[in-house]
Amino acid sequence: MTLTGYADRWSVKQGAEIGFMVSSAGGRDFTVRFVRHLCADPNPAGPGYAEVAMPSPLDGLHSGAERAAHLGSFGHAAALPADLQGGVTLSATIWPTTPDKGVQGLVALRIGGWTFALGIGPDGGAMAEVAAPAKPSARAQVPRRLLHRRWYDVSATLARDGSLTVTQTPHAPLGDAGAATAQAGPPPAGLAEVLLAALPPEPTSHYNGKLECPAIRSAAGATIAAWDFSIGIPTQTATDTGPHAAHAHLVNLPTRAMTGSNWTGIVHDWKTDPTQYGAIHFHDDDQGPLGWPESVRLTVPTDWPSGFYAAHIKNDAGEDYIPFIVRPALPQSDIVLLVPTFSYQVYGCYVRPGRGAEIAGRAAAWGALPQTPDMNPQFGLSCYNHHSDGSGVSLVTQLRPMLDTRPRQFSLMDPAEGGSGTARWVADNYIDMWLSSIGAAHDVITDHDLHAEGVDALAPYRVVIAGQHPEYHSDRMMQAFEDFLGRGGRLMYLGGNGFYWRAAPSADQPDTLEVRRAEGGIRVWETMPGESYHAFGGGYGGLWRRIGRSSHKLVGISFSVQGRHLGFPYRFIEGINDSRVAFMTTGLDLRAGQPFGDKGYMGGGAAGFELDSVNPKYGTPPHALVVAKGVVIHPDYGWVNEDMLVHRHPLPQADWSCADMTFFETAAGGAVFSVGSMTYAGSLMVDGGNSLIGKLTANVVRRFADPAPFTLPG
Q: Does 612 bind Fe ion (CB under 5 A)?
A: no
The angle, 0 to 180 degrees and rounded to 10, between the axes of the packed helices 424-437 and 692-705 is 70
- Kindly identify the residues of this chain, within the stretch 562-581, that bind Fe ion according to CB under 5 A: none
Contact stretch for Fe ion (CB under 5 A) within 363-371, 410-418, 466-474, 595-603: 466-474
- Residue 154 near residue 144, CB atoms below 8 Å: no
Site string for Fe ion, 518-547 (x = CB under 5 A): ------------------------------
Q: Quote the CA–CA distance of 255 and 283 in Å, as a whole number.
A: 8
Residue nearest to Fe ion (CB): 471
- Residue 27 near residue 64, CB atoms below 8 Å: yes
Taking the CA atoms of the chain, what radius of gyration do you get in angstroms? 28
Beta strands in 548-632 (DSSP E): 557-568, 570-572, 595-596, 607-614, 625-631
Q: How far is the CB of 89 from Fe ion (least distance, A)?
A: 48
Q: Does 471 bind Fe ion (CB under 5 A)?
A: yes
**Beta carbon nearer to Fe ion, 10 or 472:** 472
**Beta carbon nearer to Fe ion, 91 or 468:** 468
Q: Quote the CA–CA distance of 354 and 358 in Å, as a whole number.
A: 6
Q: How far is the CB of 469 from Fe ion (least distance, A)?
A: 6
Q: How far is the CB of 556 from Fe ion (least distance, A)?
A: 19
Q: How far is the CB of 412 from Fe ion (least distance, A)?
A: 13
Q: How far is the CB of 56 from Fe ion (least distance, A)?
A: 35
Q: Quote the CA–CA distance of 540 and 469 in Å, as a whole number.
A: 22
Nearest partner of 110 among 11, 212, 234, 200, judged by Cα: 200
Q: How far is the CB of 471 from Fe ion (least distance, A)?
A: 5
**Beta carbon nearer to Fe ion, 515 or 624:** 515
- Kindly identify the residues of this chain, within the stretch 283-342, that bind Fe ion according to CB under 5 A: none
**Beta carbon nearer to Fe ion, 92 or 381:** 381
**Beta carbon nearer to Fe ion, 176 or 519:** 519
Q: Quote the CA–CA distance of 643 and 649 in Å, as a whole number.
A: 7
Torsion angle of the four alpha carbons 548, 551, 557, 562, in this order, in degrees rounded to the nearest 10: -100
Nearest partner of 106 among 190, 161, 167, 159, judged by Cα: 167
Contact stretch for Fe ion (CB under 5 A) within 58-66, 183-191, 492-500, 511-519: 492-500
Buried residues in 58-97 as b, exposed as e (16+ CB within 10 A): eeeebebeebebbbbbbbbbeebebebeebbbbbbbbbbb
**Beta carbon nearer to Fe ion, 285 or 471:** 471
Q: Are strands 104-111 and 490-493 parallel, antiparallel or unpaired?
A: unpaired
Q: How far is the CB of 678 from Fe ion (least distance, A)?
A: 8
Interface with Fe ion (CB under 5 A), residue total: 2
Q: Mind giving me the DSSP string for 78-109?
A: EEE----TTEEEEEEEEEES-TTSS-EEEEEE
Contact stretch for Fe ion (CB under 5 A) within 297-305, 489-497, 615-623, 691-699: 489-497
Residue 256 region by backbone torsions, left for phi larger than 0, else alpha for psi between -120 and 50, else beta: beta
Q: How far is the CB of 640 from Fe ion (least distance, A)?
A: 11
**Beta carbon nearer to Fe ion, 277 or 342:** 342
Q: How far is the CB of 498 from Fe ion (least distance, A)?
A: 9
- Kindly identify the residues of this chain, within the stretch 493-512, that bind Fe ion according to CB under 5 A: 497
Contact stretch for Fe ion (CB under 5 A) within 41-49, 322-330, 464-472, 652-660: 464-472
- Residue 193 near residue 164, CB atoms below 8 Å: no
Contact stretch for Fe ion (CB under 5 A) within 152-160, 456-464, 465-473, 518-526: 465-473
**Beta carbon nearer to Fe ion, 472 or 663:** 472
Q: How many CA atoms lie within 13 A of 80 on its CB side?
A: 29
**Beta carbon nearer to Fe ion, 523 or 599:** 523
**Beta carbon nearer to Fe ion, 23 or 560:** 560
Q: How far is the CB of 610 from Fe ion (least distance, A)?
A: 6
**For binding to Fe ion (CB under 5 A), which residues are involved?**
471, 497
